[in-house]
Every structure is written in C-alpha cells, then in structure tokens.
Chain A
Amino acid sequence: MAKKVALLQGNEACALGAVYAGAKFFGGYPITPSTEVAEVLSAELPKVGGKFIQMEDEIGAMAAIIGASLTGAKSITATSGPGVSLKQELIGYACIAETPCVIINVMRGGPSTGMPTGPGQSDVMQARWGTHGDHAAIALVPNSCQEIFEETVRAFNLSEKYRMPVQVLFDEIVGHMRERIVFPEPGELEIIDRQPPSVSPADYKPYDSSKGQVPPLAAFGSGYKFHVTGLNKADDGFPTTKAELVDAEERRQIDKVMDNVDDILKNEEYLTDDAEVIIWAYGSTSRSARYAVNKLREDGIKAGLFRPLTIWPFPEARTAELAKQCKAIIVAEMNLGQMIYEVERVSKGDCAIGGVFRVDGEPINPGQIVDKVKEVL
C-alpha cells in the first residue's frame, strides 16, 4: 500500500511528528511564528486521548509540561525567541530534575520582539547556554518539513532516553514553508520510551545511577512516591549541600550526554570527500549552502557541505577533522556569528574561517555564500 503523503507546513509536520512519537501532553502559549504547532496539536492530541492546554503564559506552559511529564505523559511545548527566553529558568529545572520534555523553537530574529514574522537563527547559543548553571544541552536543527517530522520524533526519543529537555530549533522559513511529506508507517521509526524502574516502590530512588548514567523514571500516580526538586539533590531526590554529592550529580548530568555524543550527533555531508572549502550551515541556510556548493563546483572550486542536524552537543570531532582536511570553512547562519565561535574553537587554526551572516529578516542566498568562498580562498 502506498504511504500516506501530504503537503504540509513545517509547523504542522512538527505537530504530527509529536503525535507519531507518542506525545500525550502539550502546554503552550500563542506566539508567532510557532502557533500552528499548537493549533494542530489542539485538534490532534484529544483524538489520541492526549491533553492540550493553552496556559496563561510561556513560563506556565513550561511548568505544565514538566508536571505532566513527571506524571508519565510525553510532553511538548512550542514557542519562539521571546517565549524561549521566558522558559529558560524552567528548562534548567527540567535539566536538574531530569525530566523528559521537548521544546520547539521556531526561530525569528531578536533581541526582544524583533521581527516576529521574519526568520532568524540567533537562538542557537541560547539553546546551549540560555538557562543558568552548568548543564548539558541537546538541540536539533532540521531543514525541511519531512525532517522536522522525523527530528521531532528523534527529539522525543533522545529526551526520553537521556531524561532531559531536548530543543528542536527551526527558523521561520522552514516552519512556514510547505513541502510534500511522506508519513512513516506506525513502527517504521523507532520510538523510545523512558526506562521505568525495575525496583519496588519502597526501594526506588529517582536519581539512582548505580545501573547506568540515566536513572529510571517512575511516574507520579503509578504507585511510586518520590520527591522532585530544583535544588541540588542526592540520588534519593532530596536536597543536599554535601559537596561530593552535588559535584557527582552535576557531573553525571553532563556526562550522560557527553559520553554518548555518537548516539546523539547526526549530520549530513555533501561532497566533502575532496572538498577544499567546507560550507558549515544548518536549517534553511543549509539549503542555500547546498545550492552554493553546486555552483562553486561548476566554477571549478571543490566545495562541500557539512550540515549538522544535532547542533548541541556540538559536532566537535568531525568539524575538527574537516578543518584539517580543507583550506577554509565558511559558516553561514542567520545571525551575526554564533556557531562560528564553536567552529573556530575546535578548528584550532587548522584552516581559514569565514562567516556569512544576515539579520535583516531575509534568507541567506547562495550568491552570498559563493562570493564569500571566492573572497576567502
């Protein structure tokens, strides 16, 4: 039987990807350009017995999804720059309380209200360092409607597997663009659920990492009574200020990501084998970059594209290898230079680094990238 296809907006694909992944709870607040995610989920979630709630504000939305997730529901919110700024404290709460949840950020420009209907990629550092305190981050950056569907599923999987918030960032262009989507059959994409405890309620400790870096998570209401707090805590979930316990917990919560980067990282390369110049681009910008690579090849320049789908943790090892192999890396992003700092950091001067930046609400076009490559080489 032919697979189901549809012409869908990126935001709609995101919502349907969430349902495919098993989402049962959405808490949100209206904000351009992400609102269609909420609109579609308000219709789709109750069909599968899930819950949709429009909260009184962005912070409340983040709070509600954490509460719902702790009660066993796969949970998601969707917002944009200003909303993500408001959610930051509770994103940190989800990190320290190790609560799975997915945060969609349909990126517009900024700072502040910026240009709500224009695209941007200026939240990529916010996705890494937006909340206070040391913490690991996982963030995914799809570049097409099909990929938004699939990466939303992957975001849920990573969130459940590593017991932490996962952010999916796509710019307004991909969020509002319409493309043909081929829906995967049920069971075709892997669906990962959080690991439930194997011990009895009496023996359960919500942060017991003796059997692995990611402790099993019970649900409120499932028979397990336990305590959750945003304070530094010991493995039993209760607050502690004992230096060695605080240190061990903080490090474990970062190690559980950094020791598993091979599982979390995902990227696409195009004509990088013999490339003398690498375009390093993500999201909608990577689509212009791919076009630029073809144009440069026509002009006799050996160009290639490196496109991360996981932007956090940063694809350090592969970026460093490419820096050794090529003469230059050109980072193209719709901001005034954010990921370029990471590329510079890991390339350690092994090649020239150039940036193509834009913050005027217009997409980066292939010509800009071609011109920059010719300038740097």
Chain B
Amino acid sequence: MAYDYEKSIRPGKLPHIWCPGCGHGIVMKGLIRAMDTCELDRAKTSIVSGIGCASRLPGYLDACTLHTAHGRAAAFATGVKLADPEMTVIVCGGDGDGTAIGGNHFIHACRRNIDMTYVVMNNYIYGMTGGQFSPCTPTGAKASTTPYGNPDPIFDISKLAIGAGATFVARTTAAHPREIDKLIVQGIKHKGMAVIEVLDDCPTTYGRRNKFRSVVDMMKELKKNAVPAKAAAKMTAEQLQGKFLTGVLFQDTEKPEYCEMYQEVINKAQGA
C-alpha cells in the first residue's frame, strides 16, 4: 500500500514550486515519514524556515509553520522553542540560507544546544535566485557568479555543526531516501540541537552548468561519493579522497539542553 503522505500536506498547496529532478521533495517526504514515526502532534510542532527553494517546504505541511526572513530561521525557531519548550521545533532550509547569511544564527543555535532539529538541504547553490555560488559550492565549480570557476573554499556543514556544539549531527543524501527519515527521527528524539545535512541536487542551476547531463547522473554522483561513517573507519585516506561520510557523525547525550538550563535559571530566580 502506498504511503499516505497526503494527510500531512495542506489541501490545495500542491504542486510545489520545486523543479523536476530537485531533491527537496525527497527530503520533504522523508520529513513527513519521520514526523509520522515520531507520532508528532502537528499542533505542537513548529516547522521554521528562512528564504530559498528549500525554505518553501513548511508551507506545504500541516503544522505551525513559520516562513521567516533570509538566514534567520534558527533565531526565530529559538524564540518559538524557548517561549514554549513543549513545542517540537524543526528547522529546514538550504545551504546558503543556513550557513552564509544565517551562519551566525546556525552556529549559536548549535552552541546553545537548544532542542530542535535542523534539516539542511545542501544543494551547494543558491537555486531560487538562479544559481549563484554558496559557501558549499565546490571549489572550481561553475555558478552564475563564478563564470571562471569558484575560487572559494567550502564549508563542511556537518563539521561546522559539530565544532559549534550541536549534539547530534548526521549526514545523508537525497539519493538515500530511507536514511533521511531514519536520521530525522533520531534527530527529533535527540534532546538538544540536531543537525541533519542532506546533500541534495539542483539540476536546474547547478547540474547544467557543471556537466551533469541528467538528474540521474547527479544522484549517481551522490551515491558514488557517500561512504557510511562505519565503513570509512576501515578505509585509507587515499580511498576516502573526494568522498563524504554519511550516517550519524556525532552524538553527545551529556551536554545540557538549553531550555532545561533556562528552567534552572527560572528556579533560581524564584528561589526554588
């Protein structure tokens, strides 16, 4: 029997804005399955995003959804979560939104270890504005603003999240749909800041400029370069050249969660 996604989607809101071949829809389906698995009460779930193609995701889903300004999703979400710690807060957005204009909010949400699940759809390009390079565009790649090849080094979003203090960090790709919901489920169940980086494809603004002849080629590339973290432990540096690790990359269950820390502030202030 086909999975019932429709009960999670707001009536009349489809079709979505994403281009044929875009991986964002795969991530959205993974998110829906994850929310179902966690049996989330959608009225107590807030899905927060910034600006960009990926940030349009919340509008399609039946929940308390907040489509904010460019880069600010994590900061808005911090306000939602701290105001009502009983809310389940999920943030979603792209690589440019989350790590360029929103980089400061992203690292500080990680540092605080506030209980939210941030799904970064990393398609290494600014898609909505037509394909400008992002902090995740591979060095040397072509974008509309790197006609001679990208001179910038990249951010590794997962490493950034680990370094900044997030306590659950995982990575997968749009070519691994079953792993998407498994990791998001773990992220939602984790008490603290969870970052799920999903490497994604933008055939329209990245693929066509970078010699990918089809969406299938882009998906194959993602599959080819993905190495499960456990398998990587047995591989040499040479074998790992050009690859990226997938699965759960980091988890810390000891670091206190921010809202719980703040509850202690309240207890002290009230003389408890």
Contact = CB atoms under 8 A, between A and B. Distances in A.
B67 A64 contact: no
Nearest to B105: A60
A67 B75 contact: yes
Interface string B45-69: 0101000000000110011111111
Nearest to B107: A56
Given A90-B72, A220-B46, A238-B13, A66 B79 contact: yes
A43 B87 contact: no
B269 A43 contact: yes
B182 interface: no
B221 interface: no
A47 interface: yes
Interface in A14-68: 24-25, 27, 43, 46-47, 49, 51-53, 55-57, 59-61, 63-68
Interface residues on A, range: 35 or more
Contact of B76 (A43, A63, A224): A63
B211 interface: no
B67 A230 contact: yes
A60 B75 contact: yes
Given A238-B13, A238-B59, A56 B104 contact: yes
Contacts of B2: none
Contact of B82 (A64, A222, A230): A64
B16 to A, nearest CB: 12
A65 B82 CA distance: 10
B156 interface: no
Contacts of A49: 266, 270
B5 interface: no
B121 to A, nearest CB: 18
B246 to A, nearest CB: 29
B84 A64 contact: no
Interface stretch (A70-78, A139-147, A336-344): A70-78
A55 B75 contact: yes
Contacts of B104: 56-57, 60
Interface in A231-268: 231, 238-239
Contacts of A72: 83-84
A67 B72 CA distance: 10
Contact of A67 (B78, B108, B270): B78
Contacts of B13: 238
A225 interface: yes
B82 A51 contact: yes
Binding site secondary structure of chain A: mixed
A237 to B, nearest CB: 9
Contacts of A64: 75-76, 78-79, 82
Interface string A209-241: 000000000011111111111110000001100
B262 interface: yes
Given A93-B69, A229-B67, A47 B270 contact: yes
Interface residues of B, number: 39
Nearest to B71: A59
A196 interface: no
A67 B141 CA distance: 37
A308 B81 CA distance: 38
Contacts of B79: 25, 27, 53, 63-71, 75
A47 to B, nearest CB: 5
Contacts of B46: 71, 220-221
A226 B75 contact: no
Contact of B65 (A52, A53, A59, A227): A227
A89 B75 CA distance: 14
A71 B81 CA distance: 8
A67 B48 contact: yes
B78 A227 contact: no
B69 A90 contact: yes
Contact of B43 (A90, A201, A238): A201
B86 interface: yes
A51 B75 contact: no
Contacts of B80: 67-68, 70-71, 220
Contacts of B77: 67
Given A46-B265, A227-B59, A221 B75 contact: no
Contact of B83 (A47, A68, A223, A227): A68
A53 B265 CA distance: 11
Given A57-B104, A63-B105, A221-B44, A228 B84 contact: no
Residue among A49, A71, A224 with max Cβ neighbours from chain B (10 Å): A71
A229 to B, nearest CB: 4
Contact of A221 (B62, B78, B84, B268): B84
Nearest to B266: A46
Interface in B254-272: 262, 265-266, 268-270
Contacts of B48: 67
B42 interface: yes
Interface of A: 24-25, 27, 43, 46-47, 49, 51-53, 55-57, 59-61, 63-73, 75, 89-90, 93, 201, 219-231, 238-239
19 contacts: A46-B268, A51-B82, A60-B75, A63-B76, A63-B79, A66-B68, A66-B79, A67-B79, A67-B80, A70-B66, A71-B79, A72-B84, A75-B79, A221-B46, A221-B84, A225-B65, A228-B67, A229-B59, A231-B67
Given A25-B83, A59-B72, A221-B87, 8 more contacts: A51-B83, A53-B262, A67-B75, A73-B84, A221-B84, A225-B43, A227-B66, A239-B59
Interface of B: 10, 13, 42-44, 46, 48, 58-59, 62-69, 72, 75-80, 82-84, 86-87, 104-105, 107-108, 262, 265-266, 268-270
Closest 8 CB pairs of A and B: A67-B79, A63-B75, A46-B269, A64-B79, A60-B75, A68-B83, A68-B79, A67-B76
